[in-house]
Amino acid sequence: MVEHTPEKRGVGSSILPLGTIPLSLVPFPFCLLPFPFSLFPCTFCHPLVPWRCVPANPASVADLAAANALERQRRRSRHLRIAVVFLGCVLLFDAVFGERGLFQTLKSRQDLLRAGAEISELKRQNAALRGDVRRLQRDPATLELMARQELGLMRPGEILVVLSDLK
């Protein structure tokens, strides 16, 4: 908390009570800030926001060592959290855009459906062609009709008449 009493701000006074910050560390008066920011000045002034749990005046070397160990542990856990988040992002990216990712899986499914439709169409055409072959092998009238249409053959004694359109 910032003390505004004149005896605490004096030029010659170098000892401040515990928990106070000299006004020289405050960057600018908070009354100049817009409305919502002026209500909570401690959250917008870096010297007022404690970010380490190191006491301002350590009571002993043991307290300082404990605070230092705590700070190292927090830093280590922060690095571990960052590494886990980074690894998670990499795995998520690979799961979506990778070689066997979501987009590739969806594309493969579409290709599979397209290939299945093409196979069923080819099976249908194959069955129709097998039926034509069976009819040509078993029915002489169908064989004669195909010979006349495709090859232009005729029986002895028949006369071929060719009609052409005059346009």
Domain interval for residue 84: 56-97
List of E strands, 6-90: none
Same domain for 62 and 75, yes or no, is yes
pLDDT for position 50: 54
CA atoms within 13 A on the CB side of 11: 0
All residues at 6 or more sequence positions from 52 whose CB lies less than 8 Å from its CB, including other chains: 67, 71
Residue 3: per-residue pLDDT: 47
CB–CB of 64/58 below 8 Å?
yes
Residue 74 placed within a domain: yes
- Contact call for residues 96 and 102 (beta carbons, < 8 A): yes
Residue 4 falls inside a structural domain: no
Local structure of 2: helix, strand or coil: strand
Q: How many domains in the chain?
A: 3
pLDDT by residue for the chain (167 residues), tens only, comes to 444 444 444 444 455 455 555 545 545 454 455 555 555 555 555 555 555 554 555 567 788 888 888 998 998 999 999 999 999 999 999 999 988 899 999 999 999 999 999 999 999 999 999 999 999 999 999 999 988 888 888 888 888 888 888 77
Q: Is residue 119 part of a domain?
A: yes
Tokens of 143: 């064989």
* 91 and 106 within one domain: no
Kindly report whether the global pTM for this prediction surpasses the value 0.85: no
- Give a yes or no: residue 2 inside a domain: no
List C-alpha distances in Å: 36 to 2, 51, 136. Answer: 19, 23, 93
166 within some domain: no
- Indicate whether 121 and 142 sit together in one domain: yes
